[in-house]
């Protein structure tokens, strides 16, 4: 990483601080690995303050991808690799993918499914050229269930409670549980529930007693309702699938709004021909496009994320495309950006120090060319990425 000294500053023509867009040549002062001050006055900086003036650019909080799979190769056979490759191979791939994310301005990633807790070891190494990593370890799934090949199989109330305790002992940041089946594994269809509401509630109670949040992979209408009633802190996908269609359940949506449940929406994907997607996936995307913004306006805490690694349209730097997609679905610029900054940081439990450009917050920043208020495609034009107060190579 490029050294700038203990105290320096970034200046640009615009700033998104996690909540609002400001113009008039704001100045962000960095001291060590924290933001020391944000000056919106447009006044000249102190002559003795080293200042990097980016000109026509927007400074934002570093993006937060709350749902990624660092050990998944988007161009490979994920189930085979998870069964056959050793931990060293997976760790090297995870580091490569993490660097790819960081180069795109994603300064925090939450891995929601690895094998053998590989990402916890990388997290604990705190390598300076990587984003901050939060990790769930292997997601909990029933025997033969969705992503069973990651090693997280557990059945029944006692099995679930022990699986949660194991994750707490290992120090995971979150517990992930597969409430329904999924598209990557054939044994349980995406709309089918893998656990009952009572079983999910056991997992939640056990995790909360140990100070761990729970997020549930949930595609099916019933699985979503059961997970929310069981008290999960977040749901991933939230696609409201049935055996034949996708239809939002507004009773469950209202329950999520009332409970403050975080709703991870993996909208990020590279542009491509959606007509070649399986019929169920097309119906899911079409239905979500109709209800997503309405759900957000109703008070749902919608988090933009990627599910990076599961296929070729989801590389590990794809998150900005999800922000662009949110705007196309009816989100305002501020709403779309907040979904991958402040709201995402809160969903990950780091909202007290990530997702904002404000004094006292981590100096994790992204600067892009132009004004994001004129079009979120500006997020694809990365000028500078700052991680823990230092610019990363190739972005300075």
Kindly report the backbone phi and psi dihedral angles of residue 193, in degrees, each rounded to the nearest multiple of 5, phi listed first: -75, 135
Distance CA 322, CA 184 (A): 21
Residue 356, C-beta contacts closer than 8 angstroms, at least 6 positions apart: 17, 18, 19, 61, 341, 342, 345
pLDDT for 5 equals 60
pLDDT for 246 equals 86
pLDDT for 282 equals 77
Buried b (16+ CB within 10 A) or exposed e, 241-274: bbeeebebeeebbeebbeeebbbbbbbbbeeeee
CATH superfamily, region 8-60+355-393: Urease, subunit C, domain 1 (2.30.40.10)
Kindly report the backbone phi and psi dihedral angles of residue 357, in degrees, each rounded to the nearest multiple of 5, phi listed first: -105, 95
pLDDT for 92 equals 98
- CATH 2.30.40.10 domain extents, the chain: 8-60+355-393
Is 295 buried (19+), middle (13-18) or exposed (0-12) by CB count in 10 A? buried
Report the candidate in 144, 139, 193 with the shortest Cα–Cα distance to residue 167: 139
pTM for the predicted model, two decimal places: 0.97
Alpha helices, DSSP H only, in the chain?
78-84, 87-103, 118-125, 156-170, 197-209, 221-230, 250-259, 279-297, 319-328, 333-338, 342-347
Per-residue pLDDT of the chain (396 residues; tens, 9 = 90+): 666 668 999 999 999 999 999 999 999 999 999 999 999 999 999 999 999 999 999 999 999 999 999 999 999 999 999 999 999 999 999 999 999 999 999 999 999 999 999 999 999 999 999 999 999 999 999 999 999 999 999 999 999 999 999 999 999 999 999 999 998 887 889 999 999 999 999 999 999 999 999 999 999 999 999 999 999 999 999 999 998 888 899 999 999 999 999 999 999 999 998 877 777 777 777 778 788 999 999 999 999 999 999 999 999 999 999 999 999 999 999 999 999 999 999 999 999 999 999 999 999 999 999 999 999 999 999 999 999 999 998 655
Distance CA 368, CA 388 (A): 18
Sign of CA dihedral 131, 235, 333, 37: negative
- CATH 3.20.20.140 domain extents, the chain: 63-348
Question: What is the CATH architecture assignment of 63-348?
Answer: Alpha-Beta Barrel (3.20)
Report the candidate in 132, 140, 93 with the shortest Cα–Cα distance to residue 113: 140
């Amino acid at each position: 990483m490029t050294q700038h000294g203990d105290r320096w500053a970034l200046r640009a023509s615009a700033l998104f601080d996690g909540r609002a867009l400001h113009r008039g040549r704001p100045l962000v002062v960095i001291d060590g690995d924290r933001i020391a001050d944000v000056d919106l006055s447009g006044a000249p900086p102190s002559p003795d303050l080293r200042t990097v003036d980016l000109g026509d650019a927007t400074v934002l909080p570093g993006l937060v991808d709350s749902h990624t799979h660092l050990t998944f190769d988007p161009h490979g056979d994920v189930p085979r690799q998870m069964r056959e490759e050793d931990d060293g191979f997976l760790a090297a791939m995870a580091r490569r993918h993490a660097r790819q994310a960081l180069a795109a301005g994603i300064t925090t990633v939450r891995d929601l499914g690895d094998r053998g807790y590989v990402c916890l070891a990388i997290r604990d190494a705190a390598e300076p050229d990587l984003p901050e990593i939060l990790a769930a370890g292997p997601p909990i799934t029933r025997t033969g269930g969705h992503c069973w090949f990651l090693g997280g199989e557990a059945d029944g109330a006692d099995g679930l409670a022990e699986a949660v305790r194991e994750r707490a002992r290992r120090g995971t940041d979150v517990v992930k549980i597969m409430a329904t089946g999924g598209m990557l594994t054939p044994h349980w269809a995406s709309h089918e529930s893998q656990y009952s509401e009572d079983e999910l509630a056991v997992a939640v109670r056990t995790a909360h007693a140990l100070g761990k949040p729970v997020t549930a992979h949930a595609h099916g209408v019933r699985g979503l309702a059961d997970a929310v009633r069981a008290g999960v802190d977040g749901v991933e996908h939230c696609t409201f699938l049935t055996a034949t269609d996708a239809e939002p359940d507004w009773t469950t949506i209202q329950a999520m709004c009332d409970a403050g449940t975080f709703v991870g929406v993996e909208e990020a994907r590279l542009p491509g021909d959606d007509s070649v997607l399986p019929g169920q996936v097309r119906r899911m995307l079409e239905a979500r496009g109709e209800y997503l913004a309405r759900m957000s306006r109703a008070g749902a805490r919608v988090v933009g994320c990627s599910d990076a690694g599961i296929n070729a349209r989801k590389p590990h730097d794809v998150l900005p495309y999800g922000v662009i997609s949110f705007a196309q679905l009816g989100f305002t610029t501020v709403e779309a950006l907040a979904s991958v900054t402040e709201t995402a940081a809160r969903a990950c439990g780091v909202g007290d120090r990530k997702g904002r450009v404000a004094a006292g917050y981590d100096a994790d920043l992204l600067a892009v060319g132009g004004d994001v208020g004129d079009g979120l495609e500006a997020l694809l034009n990365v000028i500078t990425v700052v991680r823990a107060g230092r610019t990363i190579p190739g972005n300075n």
